[in-house]
């Protein structure tokens, strides 16, 4: 039986005018669907709009839209609607990192609407996506660095010196570094740097955990209640948020308004018990540097497209398994962060400032002098090669070279901050806490239970060794070589900061029987007693 349109005429005699109107509409729709996640991305990252790589994307999207429209308009409207729904689903998957449930809902709703609206479906979807584009354009007009500011200008300060707390992601303890000459130069630099500025430096600190989220949720809550926390790990991972933050409560109770400077990777801003946190969020990756530092348009285009696709975890996984997509290491440390932090300390010197700096964390694109270098093989910029459990020592050496260069840059950035505070007479009265969350992660074997028999002392140091340093107001420098966990060090620091009148939670964790770590993938969870720095508890071979 021949299909008819609404007026009862056979489909083949639709007027040429209707046909060209449908072609224009369909073309506009596919163009909008293709360009929607691209524009969402470039606006979000404030990427320069007038760049040749974006011009190429626009030309490609327009060409694809035209041919696709011409092709599918010759079919029946329900087939057209099916193809449109498929594009809608893929576009939203990339823009909002949708998983299977979300994708199923979008796809099913699209099919139902396509069936109900028939020929009007294209106009409907076009209107929805134009509205969404407007929405994301308006949203991107807000500077991400000040998006969630809630601190009132009249809010009182503590009346004391600033508390400056910097989490330098992946910063190793000096005694955890490899023994090669370059590493030992870095070790000496770390020691003399913290000595020069009057810090108490813990040279053998470590974390029980090899990931940021596990490490910091425990350290900030002075807790070793891992069974409970690991059970909640799924919920934690979902929003990567610190709903409980005992350390921020200590600061808040001491009368300190809190400013947070963070990336989009982990959320420290939304603490259940504190309603006023000045929140600064910096987008990752730092795409603007790609436009600034890479001359080749083809490479810039490739980076943009890879970044676009990697917004969807599902798509990334599929392409990586098919060996089509390899991670391209775009800087995830945003160079605007420290200048913003410094300016805020100068304007409100009685407040507390916490910042999560994604340096010396991979990708290692910063040189010793903090220039960006995107040349060379991108694989060596990552701490570990994704998907490969074991790597060879040659590639590890190359990654450590880059890690060490980037660590010199990290120290240089800290030095600039401290020197500014000295010039402004703020340094002496400041309490400054600097630490990492795990090691360099440049290990040969990842700290996974499946690698239990393969892990060397080097692997354990690469995974768990971490920096911890505190400068008290008017404090003198001190080098402490005890093997202590971040949990204990944070608890002791908080107890000293708040005075004797501190909660049971802080006191409970200030002693741990002996060093232990957790490996990932453990079921059931158990503490592995090992001193990663060697000594009597050392049950493993060193290299
Ligand atoms: Zn980390």
**Domain limits for position 210:** 163-286+333-541
For residue 475, the CA-to-ligand 1 centroid distance in Å is: 28
305 within some domain: no
For residue 196, CA distances in Å to 160, 405, 414 come to 23, 21, 12
Task: Give the pLDDT score at 261.
Answer: 95
Distance 384 CA to ligand 1 centre (A): 13
* Sequential pLDDT tens for the chain (543 residues): 444 444 444 555 556 777 788 889 889 999 999 999 999 999 988 899 999 999 999 999 999 999 988 888 777 778 888 888 998 999 888 888 888 899 999 999 999 999 998 888 888 999 998 998 888 888 776 655 455 455 555 567 778 899 999 999 999 999 999 988 889 999 999 999 999 999 999 999 999 999 888 889 889 988 776 665 555 555 555 555 577 888 999 999 999 999 999 998 888 988 888 878 888 988 888 888 888 888 889 989 988 998 888 888 888 888 777 766 666 788 899 999 999 999 999 999 999 999 999 999 988 999 999 998 888 777 777 776 554 445 677 778 888 999 999 999 999 999 999 999 999 999 999 999 999 999 999 888 889 898 899 899 999 999 999 999 999 998 899 999 999 999 999 999 998 998 866 666 666 676 777 899 999 888 777 889 999 998 644 443 333
For 364, phi then psi, to 5°, come to: -85, 80
End-to-end CA distance of the chain: 78
Tell me, yes or no, whether 170 and 109 share the same domain. no
Angle, CA of 216, 427 and 165, to the nearest 5°: 10
Residue 492's CB is within 10 A of a number of other CB atoms, namely 18
Q: What is the pLDDT of residue 397?
A: 86
Residue that is last in its domain, among 108, 140, 172: 140
345 Cα–ligand 1 center, Å: 25
Tell me if 461 sits within 8 A of 207, measured CB to CB.
Answer: no
Report the C-alpha gap between 215 and 206 in whole angstroms. 10
How far, in Å, from the CA of 141 to the mean position of ligand 1? Answer: 30
Q: Is 349 helix (H, G, I), strand (E, B) or coil?
A: coil
Boundary residue ending a domain (140, 173, 191): 140
Among 74, 105, 140, identify where a domain stops. 140
175 and 90 assigned to the same domain: no
CA 399–ligand 1 middle distance (angstroms): 17
Which residues of 120-275 form beta strands (DSSP E)?
Answer: 163-168, 200-206, 258-263
DSSP assignments along 399-436, one per residue: HHHHHHHHHHHHHHHHHHHHHHHHHTT-TTT-EEEEE-
Is 297 inside any structural domain?
no
| CA 230 – ligand 1 centroid, Å | 17
Q: In angstroms, what is the span from residue 474 Cα to ligand 1's centroid?
A: 30
In the numeric block, the tokens 């060596």 are attached to 380
Q: Are residues 380 and 437 in the same domain?
A: yes
Q: Is residue 514 part of a domain?
A: yes
C-alpha distances (whole Å) from 103 to each of 88, 114, 186 are 10, 16, 48
Domain membership of residue 153 (yes or no) is: no
270 lies in the same domain as 388: yes
Those residues whose beta carbon sits under 5 angstroms from the ion ligand 1 are 169, 212, 437
> What DSSP assignment string belongs to 27-94?
HHHHHHHHHHHHHHHHHHTT--SS-HHHHHHHHHHHHHHHHHHHHHTTS-HHHHHHHHHHHHHHHHHH
Residue 424: CATH number of its domain: 3.40.720.10
Look at residue 48 and give its three-state secondary structure: coil
CA of 105 to the centre of ligand 1 (A): 34
Q: Calculate how far, in angstroms, residue 46's C-alpha sits from the geometric centre of ligand 1.
A: 25
Ligand 1 mean position, distance from CA 51 (Å): 33
CA of 415 to the centre of ligand 1 (A): 22
Q: 170 and 136 in one domain?
A: no
**CA 216 / ligand 1 centre spacing (Å):** 9
Q: Are residues 272 and 191 in the same domain?
A: yes
Tokens of 503: 């909660």
CB 543 within 8 A of CB 458: yes
Ligand 1 geometric centre to CA of 304 (Å): 25
Indicate whether 147 belongs to any domain: no
Is 444 found in the same domain as 379?
Answer: yes
What burial class does residue 346 get, using C-beta atoms within 10 Å of its C-beta: 0-12 exposed, 13-18 middle, 19+ buried? Answer: middle
| Cα distances (Å, whole numbers) of residue 370 to 214, 241, 320, 333 | 29, 30, 31, 11
Distance CA 519, CA 531 (A): 14
**Does 120 share its domain with 256?**
no
Q: What is the whole-number distance in angstroms between the Cα of residue 87 and the centre of ligand 1? A: 36
Q: Are residues 272 and 421 in the same domain?
A: yes
Q: What is the reported pTM?
A: 0.85
Taking the C-alpha atoms of residue 475 and residue 203, their distance in angstroms, rounded to an integer, is: 18
Same domain, 125 and 265: no
> Ligand 1: distance of its center to the CA of 437 in Å?
5
Cβ distance 448 to 519 under 8 Å? yes
If asked whether residues 62 and 204 sit together in one domain, one would say: no
Number of domains composing the chain: 2
Distances (CA, A) of 312 to 106, 131, 324: 15, 22, 15
Residues 182 and 117 placed together within one structural domain of the fold? no
């Amino acid at each position: 039986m021949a299909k008819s349109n609404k007026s009862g005429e056979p489909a083949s005699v639709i007027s040429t005018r209707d046909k060209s109107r449908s072609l224009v509409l369909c073309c506009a729709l596919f163009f909008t669907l293709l360009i929607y996640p691209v524009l969402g991305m470039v606006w979000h990252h404030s990427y320069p709009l007038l760049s040749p790589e974006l011009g190429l994307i626009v030309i490609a999207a327009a060409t694809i839209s035209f041919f696709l429209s011409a092709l599918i308009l010759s079919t029946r409207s329900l087939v057209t609607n099916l193809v449109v729904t498929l594009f809608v689903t893929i576009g939203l998957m990339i823009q909002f990192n949708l998983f299977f449930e979300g994708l199923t809902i979008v796809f099913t709703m699209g099919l139902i609407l396509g069936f109900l609206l028939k020929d009007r479906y294209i106009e409907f979807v076009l209107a929805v996506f134009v509205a969404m584009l407007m929405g994301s354009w308006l949203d991107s007009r807000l500077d991400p660095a000040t998006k969630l500011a809630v601190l009132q200008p009249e809010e009182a300060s503590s009346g004391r010196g600033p508390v400056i707390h910097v989490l330098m992601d992946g910063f190793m303890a000096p005694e955890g570094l490899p023994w090669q000459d370059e590493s030992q130069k870095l070790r000496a630099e770390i020691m003399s740097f913290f000595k020069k500025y009057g810090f108490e430096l813990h040279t053998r600190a470590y974390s029980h955990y090899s990931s940021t989220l596990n490490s910091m949720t425990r350290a900030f809550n002075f807790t070793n209640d891992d069974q409970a926390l690991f059970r909640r790990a799924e919920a934690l991972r979902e929003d990567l948020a610190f709903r409980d933050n005992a350390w921020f409560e200590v600061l808040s109770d001491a009368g300190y308004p809190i400013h947070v400077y963070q990336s989009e990777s982990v959320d420290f801003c939304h603490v259940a018990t504190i309603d006023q946190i000045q929140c600064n969020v910096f987008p990752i990756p730092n795409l603007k540097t790609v436009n600034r530092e890479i001359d080749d348009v083809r490479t810039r285009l490739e980076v943009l497209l890879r970044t676009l696709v990697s917004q969807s975890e599902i798509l990334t996984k599929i392409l990586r398994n098919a060996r089509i997509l390899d991670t391209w290491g775009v800087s995830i440390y945003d160079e605007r962060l420290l200048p913003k932090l410094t300016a805020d300390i100068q304007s409100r010197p009685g407040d507390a400032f916490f910042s999560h700096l994604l340096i010396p964390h991979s990708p290692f694109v910063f040189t010793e002098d903090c220039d960006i270098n995107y040349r060379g093989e991108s694989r060596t910029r990552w701490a570990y090669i994704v998907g490969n459990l074991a790597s060879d020592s040659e590639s590890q050496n190359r990654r450590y070279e880059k890690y060490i260069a980037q660590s010199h840059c990290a120290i240089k950035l800290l030095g600039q901050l401290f020197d500014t505070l000295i010039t402004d007479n703020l340094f002496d009265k400041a309490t400054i806490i600097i630490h990492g969350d795990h090691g360099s992660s440049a290990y040969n074997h990842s700290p996974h239970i499946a690698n239990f028999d393969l892990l060397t002392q080097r692997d354990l140091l690469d995974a768990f060794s971490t920096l911890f340093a505190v400068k008290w107001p008017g404090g003198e420098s001190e080098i402490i070589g005890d093997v202590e966990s971040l949990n204990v060090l944070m608890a002791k620091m908080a107890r000293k900061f708040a005075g004797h009148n501190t909660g049971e939670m802080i006191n409970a964790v200030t002693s741990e029987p002996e060093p232990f770590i957790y490996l990932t993938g453990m079921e059931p969870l158990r503490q592995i007693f090992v001193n990663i720095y060697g000594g009597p508890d050392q049950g493993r071979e060193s290299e």
